[in-house]
Amino acid sequence: MNIGLSDRVRTLAKEKYVTPAIRAGKMRFFIRVKDLLGDLQKEGFPAGHTPQVCTALRTAKFLHENGLEMEEVVGPPSKMSTTVVFHYRIAKPEAKLPADDGKSIRGGETAEETPEARAFRLTEGLRGLLKEEMAEFGGAEGFLRWVRGYDEEGAA
């Protein structure tokens, strides 16, 4: 086993996903294994280590060090695939970020949230609502059928 690879995974995940989510004032965010693996490989991470990436993102060490709680793991039953998506909730909303001049997160917003960060945070919330709505119709195809009115007219 390559010592240090899991630490590289956790470090890059924190830099690219956790810290930006906290700075944007998000209370929830997700990490796609495929995206993180692509970023890791650009930095020389060896190919074929998908299970190690998946394991590193769900460890108590990663969750505790970043003040996170795992909300959901979406993917195949093995949960060891590039198609896996980890959904996290920020458990410590008062968490301080390194090199952020002492600004802290309160109530889901930063002290100086930029208009771009606020817009992104709000649109991500809308995207989450749409995802839930689509799931109620059995996915995107069912949702589109409903929107187009096919289900009500009996057409396929």
| pLDDT tens digit sequence for 60-90 | 999 999 999 999 999 999 999 999 999 999 9
Q: What is the pLDDT of residue 28?
A: 93
Contact between 53 and 40 under an 8 Å Cβ cutoff? The reply is: yes
Q: What is the pLDDT of residue 32?
A: 96
Distance separating alpha carbons of residues 150 and 120, to the nearest angstrom: 33
Residue 77 carries which side chain, given as an amino acid letter?
P
Distance separating alpha carbons of residues 150 and 144, to the nearest angstrom: 9
pTM: 0.59
Tokens for 124? 């991500």
What is the domain partition of the chain in residue ranges? 5-108, 114-156
- What would the DSSP string read from start to end of 84-103? -EEEEEES-TTPBPTTSTT-
Query: With a cut of 70, which residues of the chain have pLDDT below it?
Result: 1-3, 93-113, 128, 150-156
* DSSP helix/strand/coil, 78: coil
Residue 51 carries which side chain, given as an amino acid letter?
P
Tokens for 71? 């909300």
